[in-house]
Structure 1
Amino acid sequence: MAPEVLRGVVLDAKDLKMADVYSFGIIIEEITTRNWPYDNILHDRCDDEAIQGILEKLKNVQIPPFRPHVPQYQLGEQFVGEIMRLCWHELPSSRPMFDNILVLLRKVKKGRNKNIMDHVIHMMSKYSDHLEEMIEERTTELVEEKKRSEEVFCYLLPKAVSEILKSGKTVEPESFTCVTVFFSDVIGFTQIAAESTPHQVVGFLNSLYTLFDTIINKFDVYKLETIGDTYMVVSGIPIRNGIHHAGEICTMALHLLSSVLSFKIAHRPNKKVDLRIGIHSGPVVAGVVGHMMPRYCLFGETVTYASYMESSGFGQNDAVMAKT
């Protein structure tokens, strides 16, 4: 590894290419001496302490730079030593490009057929170019993956809350003086689930909630969660909307009731879907719970009352029968 890589410096694609040139200079030294780098220091002491000592010397910036020692008799030709020293230059920008190294090596071996050194330099150049393309490709993939993750994060949490979490800050619990909470569930869902396969139940709920999600997007509301057949929505959170939260929730509820009149269950087309809804307005506290899978949750009696209103209320069909 080049000294700048050992130091942990963040490098761009060009600097990484020049770091490969340094590594190639070490390969030339290995081929020339037919031995390990720094063999004159290590000898038979290939232990962690000796190797760590060499690495520390490489990391330190010193004049002259710490590099392998190659005796003149092992070089064969002086020019080879010059190429090695050029590849080992302390400044990456002062190292030759692979194309230039190839030209210099061909001068050394002028008149001979293609040799192993030509092959090595060709492979290193090819690898270096491929590495640059791979880094660019991986960077693009990373950006796309980050974008997708952020989109999913925004679905799980309100945008304002997700921005705070992405910045590394903690979301403090927040009190809201008055909001409106909505609960709904499907009457007879337990019977429908008992008479259906798990895949059919999932398909039914997915179709129903996709319809609901399309409708609530037209209103100033935020969907908190779905648990089984329970659908929970709130207005006035996380962005306050004055006194409009009750109107937004009630108008949305009427649209949801209207939508299920024409909704068909795929595996039971003759079965009518009947909704039971509970709504209540009042104060709540909102906050993010959990770290692995953070959830935006509401706490307070308002949530309890809305849930009780839903569980003890009438469905559409029940209300019609009671009126009759």
Structure 2
Amino acid sequence: MKRALITGITGQDGLYLAELLLAKGYEVHGIIRGQNNPKRALVEAIVPEVVLHTGDLTDLSGLLRALHASQPDEVYNLGAVSFVAYSWENAQVTTEVTGNGVLNILEAIRLYAGDDVSKVRFYQASSSEMFGKVQEVPQRESTLLWPRSPYGVAKVYGHYMTINYRESYGMHASSGILFNHESPRRGPEFVTRKVTLAVAEFARGRTEPLAMGNLHAKRDWGYAGDYVEGMWRMLQQDTADDYVLATGQTHSIHELLDVAFRHVGIDDWAGHVTQDPRFMRPAEVDLLIGDASKARDVLGWQPTVSFERLVTMMVDSDLAALDARRS
């Protein structure tokens, strides 16, 4: 039985990945921050088979303890301060966790594995936000990185540190450059979930307008359940490498609103949405669209859920949750 250790297991991707690995017969371990983490109950409810360890990406000794306790064949680093808007408010914490945290987990693996450093395969969750001020459309693995947020800068550091440990120590370390991927488990602070939650409320009588930022920004949105399959496939390869995971299609926030509101029978949503300068980024990333041909050719990976299906899935989930709370 293979063993896997997941950081960031309380997040959207961590939960989907844990489910995937358990279904494949893995023994799954997760690192959770703090003894009284409020999300512990969520993990225990969704994936009760997962063995949880207390740890933190900023604490090298704690990571080493988790490695010795779990003895993993694979480590998936999904932990990060991942909300881009927050990264401007607290760039230092974002850098410590999202950037330096990658160095800590890589170094912990190197120390744990000793002379047989390749015995633990490592996955780093890189991000399309690294492309920032895009220098090429679509973006691929070789596209110049030009991040436009503290989060993006921290992800670039972690991405290159992963490459450095692969080249310097022979670690089986791969990075997945994932474009936006969403699901009903997405946090409510992210724009897709912010929209689908609000649309569900409008369908049940909400009157307060939804305040939004730039409606013209475009993103390449896919389904998180598809993307964790790509993560796993990367670590099954004989040779570690970096891969873009994306749908190859781009949609604007305006289109997101169109699909979500139309799903609940509201065709003209202009009166329900306002634009608020507070939600405008200091430096916007206007167009992200990924070229996942390498992942398709090498990993045999491709997305299965369309943009429209993804949005309606999220709206339906939020409607069901809202109705359950009211019943």
User: Where on the TM-score scale, by shorter chain, does this alignment land: which range?
Assistant: under 0.3
Q: Given the two structures, how large is their TM-score scaled by the length of structure 1? A: 0.22
| Larger RCO, structures 1/2 (Cα 8 Å, 6+ apart) | 2
Q: Given the two structures, how large is their TM-score scaled by the length of structure 2? A: 0.22
The structure with the largest alpha-carbon Rg is 1
